[in-house]
Structure 1
Amino acid sequence: MKNIIKMLAVSCSICCSFLSVSAYADQQAWSDYYQIERVDYPTEIDPQIGGVAAMQDGRIALAIHSGEIVIFDPKNNTWSTFAVGLHEPLGIVQESENTFVVMQKPELTRISDTNGDGKADSYRVLYDDFGMTGNYHEFAFGPAVDSKGNYYISLNVASNFAGVFEHIRGDYSDKCNPKSEMQKYHDKQKWIKGYRKQVTRMFSCAPYRGWIIKVTPDGQATPYSAGYRSPAGLHVDANDKLWTTDNQGDWIATSPLIQVNQGDFGGHPAGLNWLAGYKKAHKDIKPDDIKAKRKSPAGLFPQGELANSPTQPLTTSGHQAFGLPEGELLIGDMNTDHLLRFIPDDVGGNTQGTLIPFIAGEDLGIGNFRLDFDKNSNLWIGKIHLGWAGDEGLLKITRTNKPMFIVDQVSLVKDGFEISFNQPIASLPSNVAVTSHTYHYHKAYGSPKVDLKAVDVEVQKVKGKRNTIKISAKTLETDRLYTLDLGKFSDTAGRPLMGNVLRYTVNALK
């Protein structure tokens, strides 16, 4: 374990940058609208939380890094241990009153209390037919569950900061560097200065690393979607749409949010080793070989500004009591001290939309890895760092019910953007600034902003639409991220706009 932590300190695990950034230079007073409570955590329980599930009876189940499932009862302020002996669990869902499904590093497991004594006595493998080379970066995330009870898990690719073990699980890809050479990584300095240079930055040498897998309730698995680097956040929304975040790195210019359908390719080529009929080795792939296959992200997180290592999305549907419109996603991040809202916008069957900074500040902190709403619409957040970047502990966020002023909807129109607000506005924002840019798609690690330019716009009210403005632009372009800064802007009651910088990813035009 000590060796693993040392490797995490010099490489990219869940995260992709050491930079910690804030939602705003002048963080707005989110404490007026939300109370953030750091839960008093017992010293004997590992404070690194890999999974959070708000249970049907109001208790909170946590999958923790040291390998236990513990249950917190907020009503009585008590803690109990439900299960032990797990291997790096990084996700949990409650399947029934006494059963959880947990994603461990080596398997998806159904864990049950069959005699009702509050302790797990049944551990059954639901799915473990995926490869493992022993590389420290081969994390396993999930599960997310749809309305039919199908589970979705995601499998990290490996990192060339290390190689592979002598004994691996699953076939070894003939498109990878020779296994005999990949095992010679234990002399770290020699590895870094020598053979590592011949290995792609990330690699998939064991089956289905870099894939999302669909698993039925009885354990039947389907390779669902390839092309991911470190897809730390999976979520199925109220419409049974599957979402994932990924982390910036090689082939991933800046962290994306992707709405995933079966057969989609997320953009990272390592996992193509396991696509039937695909013959080109990862090291020989060029951007033009795969660019047309790549699924356009629904949202992009500018690195160092909005998110460095986005984590789990969570739908707001059914939780209007939390103060947000239904149908949005909330998203955490490992390195930034804010949450994010994603407002989807369907344009001709294309899913795209707007990312807006949400609750922010030191009270929230960083390392916001797993999120869940309880039945009273309180938001619970589990934090983790894995010896690298992030934080520890459990947060409870409760709305104060004080009215706030936020963006309600952002819609792309033929010649610009329509923005609706949840409160009456007396006048137009006076200092609107809009820019657009794109990114390189290449095998290098990340990308700077490309072709960053100011966009000439006009701002006007929309007739017949309550509390809506239109930002008109002479031209709009696809495959670009538009940043709309509304400046300092208040409603008729003088409340400041909470989240005044909007980032809309344009994949398709009206």
Structure 2
Amino acid sequence: MKLCSVLLPFCLLAIASPGVAQQPKPDSVEACYSIGKLIMPPGVAPEVGGLDAMPDGRIAACFHHGQVGIYNPQDKTWQIFAEGLHEPLGILVENAASILVMQRPELTRLRDTDGDGVCDSYETLWDGFGLSGNYHEFAFGPVRAPDGKLIVSLNLASQGDTVFKEVRGEFSSIGVPREKFYTEWKKVGKDVGRMYSRVPFRGWVVKVDPETGNAEPWACGFRSPDGIGFDARGNLLVDDNQGDWRGSSELFVVKKDGFYGHPASLVWRPDWDGRVPLEVPVEDLDRLRTPAAVWFPHGHFANSPTQIVQIPKSNAWGPFAGQTIVGEMNSPKILRVLMEEIDGVWQGATVNWMQSDALKRGVHRLAFVDDVLYVGRTHLSWAGGEGIGTVVPTGKVPFDILDMNITPKGFRFTFTAELDENSDTAELWGGEHYTYLYHKDYGSPQTDKDAIEVEKITIGDDRRSVEVKLGAWVRDHVYEFRLDKLKSVDGRSLLNPRIAYTVRRVPH
């Protein structure tokens, strides 16, 4: 009793210590989102190429080894709808009896014509693109455009291997004659380029009519465009992976006839003058291209971005409803992108939405069904994971960055909760700005790096909006803020304190 009496004041002092009590703690992802997993269909390699919702709330999935399965969340069972497909990497449900799948060689319509729940009709909708036999010629999509047409994207071939002697489609011998592809590849591959486009329309985004199968090459300059989707405004968004001609992974707002940076696919433009793309001066290519709207800084944000979808406008998803999210292969996370148009140019920020080991790596495909987010994972021979996870909001809203907008003098931040009284201290708003090189090398270091010069912080009357005035601007730079010392009025720190805004234009 005496020992307890002596120690009690010290225990109470430790509990009441202001230094301990004032340490900000973030909400956990698990407190805000319940992360689960599905039991996968037996006998199916659980590498997910595509996910989409059925009209009745079931979920359709295609798997790399050629199956299409339909999962019923009511009784937690799978039914195999189709088999024998060639590396399907995208799926789009048309109705309860018709599903589109993007295989490596074609866009296919799968139909159940007799109502037994199993596909009995495999129809080629479009196969008007080239196949060289190179292992890296993936095909992605489709997604449906606002006008009802379909969008697909085609990967470039890789210097890691040559092409088959028998190819599908026209062969481009620009720069390297075809016969050299069948000689000593280690020498020839250096002249071909790290990623190359020798058959149509490698490195392109293509628009396909779902009724006729007629196709229109839409835009070029892509490397590995695994993620395609539309935002709430109807803009076509395409992301691409870091690599040659990609200083870091990027997200583009894609317009018809645009060129988006990787020169290999230029040979398939009707107006191309026959020059070898790799020999065109970088300055000329730079003038021709449309830069990315958002850079995903390599390492902390995304190394390999994937599918692009919108969060449903449902109360369940709280203040994030309607925003755009992007998957990521190399780490267990999903990101948000926050974009705006300034003087006709799209730009914006990326910030983590959720990062948790429970998500697992390889987040490849995303699909919402009611208030459940299904997460399809893959790896092939790269970093990644397997299986299908689920994310369900718990109703708890984290303290987080909701939005970020550029202003003539700096940035406006919006948060999901009120900031504490000390948040107008400039030292809490630290970060750095930098850019990436546009060149043929693989990736780029962060260059021209400097600290962000913060002059003044003004907190709005609602205490959720903040004006950050900067001392100077540098265009075509990423402005990455690290706000881990900010606190909400109830003492929480930000769930995701790092945000990176790509500045192309500054409003007047």
Q: TM-score, normalised by structure 1?
A: 0.91
Residues 1:290 and 2:285 aligned together: yes
Matched with 1:356 is 351
Q: CA deviation at 1:319?
A: 3.8
Q: Give, in angstroms, the shift of residue 403 of structure 1.
A: 2.8
Tell me if 1:498 matches 2:492.
no
Greater alpha carbon shift after TM alignment, 155-164 vs 423-432:
423-432
2:209 equivalent among 216, 228, 239? 216
Corresponding residue for 1:372? 367
* Cα distance in 2, alignment partners of residues 352 and 499 from structure 1: 20
Question: Partner of 1:405 in structure 2?
Answer: 399
Cα distance between partner residues in 1 of 2:190 and 2:147? 45
How many Å separate the matches in 1 of 2:337 and 2:58?
A: 28
CA shift at 1:245, angstroms? Answer: 0.7
Partner of 2:464: 467
Residue 335 of structure 2 aligns to a residue whose secondary structure is strand
Match of 1:135 in 2: 134
- 1:9 corresponds to which residue? none
The separation in 2 between residues aligned to 1:195 and 1:463, in whole angstroms, is 61
The answer as to 2:232 corresponding to 1:235 is no
**CA–CA separation in structure 1 for the residues paired with 2:164 and 2:228:** 28
SS in 2 for 1:323: helix
Deviation at 1:84, TM superposition (A): 1.1
Q: 2:418 aligns with which of 405, 424, 442?
A: 424
Counterpart of 1:273 in 2: which secondary structure?
helix
Candidates 483, 486, 492, aligned match of 1:486: 483
- Report if aligned partners of 2:479, 2:501 keep a CA contact under 8 Å in 1: yes
In structure 1, what is the equivalent of residue 246 of structure 2?
A: 252
Aligned sequence identity (%):
37
Cα distance in structure 2, aligned partners of 1:221 and 1:72: 32
Match of 1:456 among 439, 453, 466: 453
One-letter amino acid matched to 1:45: V
Aligned to 2:14: none
Gaps of 5+ in 1: 1-25, 185-189
Alpha-carbon displacement from aligned partner over 1:469-495 (angstroms, at most 9, x marks no partner): 111111112111100111222222233
> Paired residue for 1:207, among 194, 200, 203?
200
Equivalent residues of 1:200, 1:282 under 8 A apart: no
Closer, same or farther: CA 111–463 of 1 in aligned 2, 3 Å: same
User: Counterpart amino acid of 2:434?
Assistant: H
Moved more, 100-109 or 319-328: 319-328
Q: Does 1:97 align with 2:105?
A: no
The answer to whether the 8 A contact 1:232-1:246 is kept is yes
C-alpha change, 1:450 and 1:143, in structure 2 (3 Å) is same
Q: Give the CA deviation at 1:357.
A: 1.1
* Alpha-carbon displacement from aligned partner over 1:93-151 (angstroms, at most 9, x marks no partner): 11112111111100111111111110111111111100110000100011111233211
Task: Rate the CA distance shift 1:491–1:68 in 2: closer, same or farther, 3 A.
Answer: same
Instruction: Name which of structure 1's ranges 464-473 and 386-395 shifts more when overlaid on structure 2.
Output: 464-473
What is the deviation of 1:51?
0.2
1:316/1:324 contact within 8 Å kept:
no
Residue by residue, what CA displacement relative to the aligned partner does 1:286-315 show, whole Å, maximum 9, x if unpaired? Answer: 211210121121111111221111101111
Which piece of structure 1 moves more, 39-48 or 425-434? 425-434
Partner of 1:13: none
Q: Which moved more, 1:272-281 or 1:465-474?
A: 465-474
Structure 2 counterpart of 1:272, one-letter code: L
Question: Counterparts of 1:265 and 1:338 in 2: how far apart (Å)?
Answer: 29
Query: After the TM superposition, which of the residue ranges 328-337 and 279-288 deviates more from structure 2?
Result: 279-288
Cα deviation per residue 1:433-478 (whole Å; 9 max; x = unaligned)? 1211111111111111110101210342344565111111111121
Relative distance call for 1:324 and 1:102 in structure 2 (3 A) is farther
Given the alignment of the two structures, is residue 271 of structure 1 paired with residue 272 of structure 2, yes or no? no
Contact 1:328 1:344 in 2 (8 A): no
8 Å CA contact 2:26–2:494 kept in 1: the answer is no
Deviations 1:395-434 (A, max 9, x none): 0000111132122221100010010112222321642212
Q: CA deviation at 1:379?
A: 0.6
Please tell me whether the aligned partners of residues 420 and 491 of structure 2 are also in contact (alpha carbons under 8 angstroms): no
SS of equivalent to 1:283? helix
The answer to whether the 8 A contact 2:241-2:305 is kept is yes
> 1:377-401, CA deviations, whole angstroms, 9 ceiling, x for partnerless residues?
2110100111222110000000111
Q: Deviations over 1:150-181 (max 9, x none)?
A: 11010011111111100000001131412222
Corresponding letter in the other structure for 1:240: G
- Count of equivalent residues: 478
Higher mean alpha-carbon deviation, 277-286 vs 32-41, is at 277-286
Offset of 1:496 from its aligned partner? 2.5
Task: Determine if contact 2:207/2:215 at 8 Å carries over to the other structure.
Answer: yes
Q: Deviations over 1:231-265 (max 9, x none)?
A: 01011233321111101111111110111111111
Distance in 2 between residues matched to 1:133 and 1:102, nearest whole Å:
21
Deviation at 1:317, TM superposition (A): 4.3
Letter of the 1:197 partner, please give it: K
Distance across 2 between alignment mates of 1:373 and 1:132: 33
Could you state the TM-score of these two structures normalised by the residue count of structure 2? 0.91
- Alpha-carbon distance between aligned partners in 2 of 1:76 and 1:43, rounded to the nearest angstrom: 16
- Asked if structure 2 preserves the Cα contact closer than 8 Å seen for 1:27 and 1:361, the reply is no
> Cα gap change, 1:153/1:199 in structure 2, threshold over 3 Å: closer, same or farther?
same
Q: Is contact 1:50-1:63 (8 Å) kept?
A: yes
CA RMSD of aligned residues (A): 1.6
Residue matched to 2:80: 81
Q: Provide the residue aligned with 2:11 in structure 1.
A: none
Q: Distance in 2 between matches of 1:324 and 1:390?
A: 30
Instruction: Give the distance between the partners of 1:490 and 1:372, measured in 2 at CA.
Output: 33
Q: Residue 345 in 1 paired to residue 344 in 2? A: no
Q: Distance in 1 between matches of 2:27 and 2:197?
A: 43
DSSP-derived class of the 1:102 partner: strand
* Contact map agreement 1:48 1:392 (CA 8 A) in 2: yes
Structure 2: where are the runs of 5+ without partners?
1-24
1:415 match: 409
| Residues 98/176 of structure 1: CA separation in 2 closer, same or farther (3 Å cut) | farther
Match of 2:18 in 1: none
The 3-state SS of whatever aligns with 1:94 is: strand
Counterpart for residue 301 of structure 2: 306
CA drift at 1:358: 1.9
Residues in 1 aligned to 2:281 and 2:315: alpha-carbon distance in whole angstroms: 46
Deviation, 1:215, is 0.5
For 1:4, the equivalent position in structure 2 comes to none
Residue 243 of structure 1 aligns to a residue whose secondary structure is: strand
Q: Which deviates the most, 117-126 or 172-181? A: 172-181
CA distance in 1, matches of 2:72, 2:333: 26
Correspondence for 2:150: 151
- Deviation at residue 27 of structure 1 after TM alignment: 9.1
